[in-house]
Amino acid sequence: MQTRTKPQAEQVENRRLTLTVVIPCYNEVATIADVLERVEAVGLADEIIIVDDGSTDGTRNVLATLEAEEHPNLRILYCDQNRGKGAALVTGFKASTSDVLLIQDADFEYDPREYPTLLRPIQEGIAEVVYGSRFLGGPRKAMNFWNMVANKILTLTTNILYNSILSDMETCYKVFRREVVENMTIHAHGFDFEPEFTAKVLKQGIRIYEVPISYNGREWNEGKKISWTDGPIAMWVLLKYRFVD
């Protein structure tokens, strides 16, 4: 296992790091325009990449309208068919040009106003990868109990297998320096991106820095897409990458 050199606290960046926000999007006609507005309102993104993953609900019409408007930092990429969140993210990573990448979902569960908190450890040189944790005391809407149990089990499994102390492996808010993924091959197409990315980061010897965030989880009838079948898949991915490079 190759161990990366970790940044030291005293090695604070003497310039502002550029930021790309990658937004995977599938059938989010009701929210995508507002999410973009919220990301832009924070004023930190040098580049915003929306990757439409084969939407069929009218989302592409909304995106076409956004392209015709004045959004100077916006790029929209279209996938021919639905391949899954992981594949959409990899497409966005490859197209990005900034120093730091931040993953943003295309709904209202995560608040872009958290960006300064998420970016600070990287900007200060004390972390290469930052996760926004829903379980470190931030305000949150009550989650579905069994979703929480599944999350806790997967996070505990991650900690046991990879000798870490994460509190929220499955969080959307993953922020990292470009070098972390430049030579990383990600095979996941769907929600198995979360455990694969986490496993490969930890196997590089990178310690993940967590910060508390707020969370406004949506219900199934509001378009929540992850299902119970994703839990066993995530468990298998964590086990597989513990022993396979």
Nearest-angstrom CA–CA distance, 100 and 119: 9
Q: Which of the two residues, 45 and 11, has the higher pLDDT score? A: 45
Q: Beta strand pairing status for 174-177 and 129-133?
A: antiparallel
Q: State the pLDDT confidence band at 224, using cuts at 50, 70 and 90.
A: low
Query: For residue range 123-144, what is the model confidence (pLDDT) as tens digits?
Result: 999 999 999 999 998 777 666 7
Query: For residue range 23-51, what is the model confidence (pLDDT) as tens digits?
Result: 999 999 999 999 999 999 999 999 999 99
Query: For residue range 59-112, what is the model confidence (pLDDT) as tens digits?
Result: 999 999 999 998 999 999 999 999 999 999 999 999 999 999 999 999 999 999
Domains for the chain: give ranges and CATH numbers: 19-243 (3.90.550.10)
pTM for the model: 0.88
